[in-house]
Amino acid sequence: MHNFPVPYPNELIYSTVARASIYHGITSPKQLLDEVFNNRKVIATLDLPCHLQSLSEQLQSTGRFSLEELIYRHTMFPLYAPFVTEPHRTRAIQLMARRSQGAVHLLLGVAASRVKTDDRLRYCSACLKDQTQKYGETFWQRNWFFPGLDLCPEHGALHLFRVGTADHRHQFHALNVKPETSLNAGISNPDLLRLAQYASKLIDMEPDGSPSFSQWTAFYRDLAVDFGLCRGRHIKHDEVYALVSNTFQRKSLNQLHLQINSATDTCWLKSIFRKHRKAFSYLEHGVVWQTLLPNLSPEEIIKRVRQMKPNTKIFVPTTSQQTAINQDLQSKRQLWEQAVLEVGVTAARKNGTGKALYAWFYRNDRAWLLHFNARHQQVRSIPQQKADWRQRDLMIVRRLFSVLQANEIDSFAPRLSANYLLSQLNNKSTVEKNLDKLPLVKSFLQRYSETITEYQLRRLSNACIQIYRDTGQLKNWVILRQAGLSKERLTADSQRVLAELRFF
């Protein structure tokens, strides 16, 4: 075919073939196969297509799109390649170059995997908008097709659907959905979204050789040692389970068909920490990496695995190695201390490494962990109290106003001195000592506490009102007796007012 379309970045090669049919106005699937592949038996395969050599040749004029580039940038191959053996990886590439008749899927373990692939087409509305803006047309994007995930790593929920069945094995369907105005609906499961983001890094990795099974075995063995998950030569599977369950909700693992059950000896999570005899899927590796090494990229991890010495002996701590284990404990303690001092216990428990450390300490060194955390929480509670002064100020003033109101009604209440008002509170001495931090309380006391004259006048006037109502006359000694005051103790101002009252 002349003018075979150039694949867009991250476009599935399936999608490019489908676009070719649109460009050239070819409606018959068989005719398209003839024109593009010169072979009517090609099966339209989304994830791991074959006959790629002929497409690479058709794209020769671009100076790009070698067979390897097509496979690594425009198929799902990189999700499988690092996890199968090197002979399987190279054999799969050979098969994808020409014809395979299903052998690629067998070779890469797709068929036998717990992670189910399905043939539904899928798209992300938000990505469609981006594509239209950038390229003026839409295409099937590779990162919508992560097996088992059904999520766009950038925007979450996808639209999934099946197309008609007639002769569909040979039909390449072009994406001809109009970008919707609405964004993707629903909230995506954060566990699965995290895995989708990990998958999009994995799928963008540069082509490279695969580690051997014994390297994978050694890597997981080392990982268990690093995280204190070994007792002698035995893996503490229960602790591995606890860590994974802390990181991934049960429903997420169920959705991936990667349930974990520590009682089952054949559980994948046990097998991955044992001698590797078969390839594990990108999701099985991903779940463990996201639990234990959330800050490392898949590239960094796989590079580390490639450097593993294949015949690493199984780790058995001797007494001399016990020192190393103690050192490991010390460095773990330091890591936790540092994290807590930086962000506090609660935040430290939430980030990836902190979460794993916390879980580890909780099982191995709980007394130390609880002691350290308790001490630390005390230290942090002081600034919190300081911040409470404003709130306290408001609460105390409210309480003082109600004391004031109750006493004003009571004609014979004692003098409402600052001291008396404060004594009506439960925390008099704290308030007295901290008046500078309580500006509202301070100005309340200045404004509403009674001077001696004000106090005497309140009692005198209340007594006058009562006596006048009862007898119709006001006599000095009757007023003073009723008010509970003696003539000698009256202030000059009070005496003057009393004299005036009597002449009303």
- Contact positions vs Zn ion (CB under 5 A): 124, 126-127, 152, 154-155
Cβ 110 to Zn ion shortest distance, Å: 24
For Zn ion, the closer of residues 130 and 222 by Cβ is: 130
Which residues is 159 bridged to in the sheet?
123
Name the one residue in this structure whose structure tokens are 């994007």: 141
Minimum CB separation of residue 299 from Zn ion in Å reads 23
CB contact set of 146 (below 8 Å; sequence gap of 6+): 76, 79, 153, 195, 196, 199, 200, 203
Would you say 89 or 159 has its CB closer to Zn ion?
A: 159
Q: Between 141 and 373, whose beta carbon lies closer to Zn ion?
A: 141
Residue among 160 and 379 whose Cβ is closer to Zn ion: 160
Nearer to Zn ion, 56 or 131 (CB): 131
Residue among 444, 446, 442 at smallest CA distance from 434? 442
Distances (CA, A) of 173 to 45, 46, 169, 268: 11, 10, 11, 36
- Min dist CB 144 to Zn ion, Å, is 7
Q: Please state, as a whole number, how many other Cβ atoms lie within 10 Å of the Cβ of residue 212.
A: 17
What's the closest the beta carbon of residue 281 comes to Zn ion, in angstroms? 23
Q: How far is the CB of 176 from Zn ion (least distance, A)?
A: 18
Q: Which is nearer to Zn ion, 105 or 155 (CB)?
A: 155
- The dihedrals phi and psi of 429, each to the nearest 5 degrees, come to -70, -35
The C-alpha angle 283, 286, 292, rounded to 5 degrees, equals 150
Minimum distance from CB of 152 to Zn ion (Å)?
Answer: 3
Distance of CA 318 to CAs 323, 326, 331, 350, 368, Å?
9, 12, 20, 35, 25
Report which of 276, 153, 253 is spatially closest to residue 203, judged by C-alpha positions.
153
C-beta of 1 vs 127, nearer to Zn ion: 127
Nearest to Zn ion of 155, 458 (CB atom): 155
Nearer to Zn ion, 151 or 460 (CB): 151
> What count of other Cβ atoms lies within 10 Å of the Cβ of residue 143?
21
Work out the burial of residue 54: count CB atoms within 10 Å of its CB; fewer than 13 is exposed, 13-18 middle, 19 or more buried. middle
**Spatial separation of the C-alpha atoms in residues 5 and 14, rounded to whole Å:** 12
What is the distance between the alpha carbons of residues 349 and 358, in angstroms, rounded to a whole number? 6
In this complex, which beta carbon is closest to Zn ion, that of residue 26 or of residue 126?
A: 126
Q: How far is the CB of 10 from Zn ion (least distance, A)?
A: 11
To Zn ion, the closest distance from the beta carbon of 148 in angstroms equals 17
The least distance separating Zn ion from the CB of residue 287, rounded to whole angstroms, comes to 23
Rounded to 10 degrees, the C-alpha dihedral 484/489/495/499 comes to: 40
Chain Cα centroid distance, residue 151:
17
Which residues lie closer than 8 Å to 343 by C-beta, 6 or more apart?
Answer: 351
Nearer to Zn ion, 126 or 501 (CB): 126
DSSP string, 154-199: TTEE-EEE----TTGGG------PPPPSSPPPSPPPHHHHHHHHHH
Sequence-ordered strand ranges (E) for 302-368: none
Structure-derived torsion over alpha carbons of residues 233, 238, 240, 243, reported in degrees to the nearest 10: -150
Smallest gap from residue 181 Cβ to Zn ion (A):
15
Which one, of 223, 257, 222, lies nearest residue 243 by Cα?
Answer: 223
Q: How far is the CB of 122 from Zn ion (least distance, A)?
A: 10
